[in-house]
Amino acid sequence: MKLLTAAFLSLAVPGLALAGTTDRLVYPTAKISLTARTESGINNALPRINEALELGVDPTQLKFEEMKESLYGKHYYFGQKLNGVDVSDSELIVSTNKRGQIFRVFNNVKKVAPTGSKSNFSSHPLVSQQGAMEIAWKSLKANGELLQKPEAKLSFTKELQLIYTVQVSTSSPFGHWSVVVDATNGKVIETKDAALPRMKRATAIARTNAAPVSFSSAMGLYNRKNGKVFTLKGITATGTAQVFDPNPVVILGRTDLQDGTEASIFRPAYTNETLKDITLANGVYSLVGPKVTLIDFESPKVAPSTTTNGVWDFERKNVAFNDAMTYYHLDKNIRYIESLGFVGSKVVFPKSIEVDANGVNGDDNSHYIPSSRRLAFGHGCVDDNEDSDVILHELGHAIQSHINPRWNGGDTGAMGEGFGDYWAASYSASLPHSLDTHPEWVFKWDGHNDCWDGRKLDAVHMKYVPGKSYYAHSRVSDGTSDELWSTPLFQAYLELTKSGVSRDAVDQVILEAHFGLGSSLKMPEMASAIVKTAKNLFPRKKYDSVFEKHFKQVNILQ
């Protein structure tokens, strides 16, 4: 969003006092205004911002990347570059309100010697981009197909090691791999599956005994297949579907349901809903719309269902039911986000999100893939997309990734899972009778049964320990790191909504707080942003004190 015509910086007072909650988050107490409409104007204003706020960065190493607009204001993102190469997870973000006044700065810039001085780092890779991708492929001993186009990005680590981060998705070994390759010697530094699953899975790479496939062969096959891909052209249509909303546990008020429960028991739980803006082409209705597009990109290879009358009147245990559930709930929720004011220049999802409603290699799991911004759902035990909690949990990852593409490191693993749990549960809690059946449970149908234990949102006994890192799905006392973050969010939601505050207002605060933040976030930083955002959006209310109370209860804020 570089549609920007002038730059202006003014300081209201010569003496400036700062109030920062951490070394990286700075909240100016003096009025500093920035009005910028050109990239050069923004870059020219940066030295004065650095001096006024005493940020201690080298403005010559920072390059304006983009401006994002949100409900409260605008956010200017600067990336650090050394000799033209990005420094990973090193950014400066300046946030202004609608009057152009700076209200927050996120400073995560690596302090290094000026680029013109002698230094001990080189920005000239000895390994090519193509070579890095081949090294990553070979290290995986891949013997399957490429699931998406591989990418390799050159950057410096914060220790100034020159690396390639290779994103390569393979059918065997199945995974969406992030492989870090030393750009100077070709050694593989790290390999991990970068997809974000709703439930912890094995970290070991599941390899088969089949002979490896060469990278060139895999790329050739991928290019041939994708060269035949065509865009479905048709007209926008309206369909109907039989779905669970949110799930049979809530609708029937029963916690004894299992995957093998007699089919007739579930029939009162179905409801008929409208499928908006699906596609009609050549007499066939497809679940392809402006918000959501169902495709097949993961194993098992099952094409998304279609109908000739626009009606998906299927029951559970039929993949067409899962397709309809996936489209309906994702489309409905993305429209809900837009109803909160995130439209136009503030839109969270500018493109239709691609989803494989029958993927994840057939596992009992679901995941979001940051590199391609896709979702996929598995069908083990209770099919994941029979429960809106799972569908919206995974959308939660997509929300954070779209607002903050730098969402990684620090406590973002636990906060990503916790936010997804909150996002799912807050929707469910907004429906009739949902608070009658364990409102503290998330994944009420997919979990809390013989399949798996699910998670909870009332772990008020847990305590955040400063200095500790909280990863996704890690154990903390008798709960999980995910629950440590979801608990204060959901408990604040319950208190606020029971006092008459709308769900819309609570979600506006939590979504808005994600703007203007970068990588390696810790829970206290995110909590501070939420509390201050509540005060900014609703200055005459006491919403901020409710959030603050619940964050303090689990020691995230002290």
Question: Kind of pairing, strands 196-197 and 188-193?
Answer: unpaired
Q: In this structure, is residue 119 part of a structural domain?
A: no
Q: In this structure, is residue 120 part of a structural domain?
A: no
Number of domains the chain contains: 4
Same domain, yes or no, for 509 and 440? yes
* DSSP reduced 3-state for 306: strand
Same domain, yes or no, for 537 and 390? no
Same domain, yes or no, for 484 and 391? no
Element (H or E) spanning 369, and its range?
A: strand 366-369
Domain with 539 in it? 412-553
What is the domain-level CATH number for residue 436? 1.10.390.10
Q: Which residues contact 350 (CB under 8 A, 6 or more apart)?
A: none
The Cα–Cα gap between 313 and 236 comes to 20
Q: Which of 50, 72, 107 is the last residue of a domain?
A: 107
pLDDT score, position 44: 85
Q: Which residues contact 39 (CB under 8 A, 6 or more apart)?
A: 2, 4, 64
Of the candidates 428, 460, 431, which has an alpha carbon nearest to the alpha carbon of residue 442? 428
Same domain, yes or no, for 86 and 206? no
In angstroms, the Cα distances linking 396 to 127, 228, 260, 308 are 37, 32, 29, 32
CA dihedral 355, 361, 364, 369 (to 10 degrees): -40
pLDDT score, position 18: 30
Q: In this structure, is residue 501 part of a structural domain?
A: yes
Same domain, yes or no, for 356 and 261? yes
Q: Exposed, middle or buried, 282 (CB in 10 Å: 0-12/13-18/19+)?
A: exposed
Same domain, yes or no, for 383 and 491? no
The Cα–Cα gap between 326 and 357 comes to 7
Same domain, yes or no, for 368 and 458? no
Q: Which two tokens stand for residue 536?
A: 């900014």
Q: Which of 43, 77, 107 is the last residue of a domain?
A: 107
* pLDDT tens for the chain, residues 1 to 558: 333 434 444 443 333 333 333 479 999 988 888 876 778 888 888 998 999 899 999 999 999 999 999 999 999 999 999 999 999 999 999 999 999 999 999 999 998 865 544 455 677 899 999 999 999 999 999 999 999 999 999 999 988 999 999 999 999 999 999 999 999 999 999 999 999 998 887 766 777 778 999 999 999 999 998 876 666 789 999 999 999 999 999 999 999 999 999 999 999 999 999 999 999 999 999 999 999 999 999 999 999 999 999 999 999 999 999 999 999 999 999 999 999 999 999 999 999 999 999 999 999 999 999 999 999 999 989 999 999 999 999 999 999 999 999 999 999 999 999 999 999 999 999 999 899 999 999 999 999 999 999 999 999 999 999 999 999 999 987 789 999 999 999 999 999 999 999 999 999 999 999 999 999 999 999 999 999 999 999 999 999 999 999 999 999 999
What is the domain-level CATH number for residue 319? 3.10.170.10
Same domain, yes or no, for 96 and 147? no
Q: Which of 357, 379, 403 is the last residue of a domain?
A: 403
Q: What count of residues does the chain have?
A: 558
Assign 3-state DSSP to the chain and report helix, strand, coil percentages, each to 5.
Answer: 30, 25, 45
CB 90 within 8 Å of CB 58: no
